Amino acid sequence: MKLSPDIDTYILYSQQGKYIVKYFKSPDAIVRMSRTKRLLTAIKSVRPDFPCIVPEMLYETAGESIYVEEYVDGILMGKADFSEAKMMAVCSWITGYMRDLRELGCFGYAPDGFRWRRFLSDFAERRFAAVMELGLWGASVFREFFAYIRESVSILSEPERLCIVHNDLNPDGNILVDLSKGLKVHVIDYEKWILGDCVKDISKMIWYFRRHKKFGDCFIDMYSEAVCVPDMRTVKLYFALDILNHFSEYRKLITQEGWNIYFQQELEIIQEIWKDDFNLW
């Protein structure tokens, strides 16, 4: 199974059970997985019941590493055909998970002087530069989009509290639903976690809500009750930053199944998202 150009994933069957084996072959991927293991180990030490699986390192050198983690059964949320009642139950579980993640705080990962707005500003500028360096689209295509992101980040308020953000809470890839024993939800692949605003995790679910609009409204209501009331202008900014990041990694992502369709849709979105009347779903 190919997750990305720098990660190969395999399923291992043994007498003890079924496992996922991940082979990392780039320095960035190796560092990400190492810090992920440290984070999840720390979380499990204070919340043994928290829904995450701590990966175990089998082998590591300067150029490659191999990790193994328990396999979890389930259907990808984004590919499942659930009844409305079950989907509402899944959405309720996810908002509870987001609440718990927010309450865990930052686990000492916040360096002195860390500012979320500055982090986003630096991130956006690096991604702007990467997109332009690709030279695949004219600057005019992104002009209003870039201007909108810069302006929105410049006026963004600092979050009330910093917390661990999963940062890839994608129903099409990292949220699994197991219906074999009632209803059980699993969140996997924490490798892209960051420190920041808890609301950022909503942005990765927007593609799902664009396909299932009524669940988007219900989810926001549940989130407002369980976690905090999100400013939808901020949610839109975070979605725009995700899209910007995708374009900056175009050459890597376009080789993966389905991404050509996403990029076609995102090219349309960047022409509209900066407008006041743009609807996320």
What would the pLDDT profile of 152-196 be if each residue is shown by its tens digit? 999 999 999 999 999 999 999 999 999 877 789 999 999 999 999
CB 107 within 8 A of CB 194: no
pLDDT of residue 17: 77
Distances (CA, A) of 109 to 29, 42, 164, 229: 19, 11, 9, 25
| Residue 268, CA distances (Å) to 25, 97, 243, 265 in order | 34, 32, 11, 5
Lowest mean pLDDT among 19-33, 40-54, 214-228: 19-33
Is pLDDT above 90 for 130?
A: yes
Mean pLDDT of the chain, nearest integer: 91
pLDDT band of residue 82 (cuts 50, 70, 90) is: confident
**Average pLDDT, integer, range 197-213:** 95
pLDDT at 5: 57
For the chain, give the percent of residues with pLDDT over 90. 70
Query: Token digits for 272?
Result: 């509209």
pLDDT digits (tens, 9 = 90+) for 85-121: 999 999 999 999 999 999 999 977 888 889 999 999 9
What is the average per-residue pLDDT within 17-41? 88
Q: Which of 189, 158, 179, 40 is nearest to 107 (CA)?
A: 40
Is the confidence at residue 256, as pLDDT, over 90?
A: no
List C-alpha distances in Å: 17 to 73, 182, 210.
12, 21, 37
> Is the model's pLDDT at 81 over the cut of 70?
yes
Residue 2 has pLDDT above 60, yes or no: no
The structure's pTM equals: 0.92
Query: What whole-number distance in Å separates Cα of residue 188 and Cα of residue 55?
Result: 11
Q: What pLDDT shows up at residue 236? A: 98
Mean pLDDT (whole number) for 110-137: 94
- Alpha carbons 139 and 132: distance in angstroms, whole number: 7
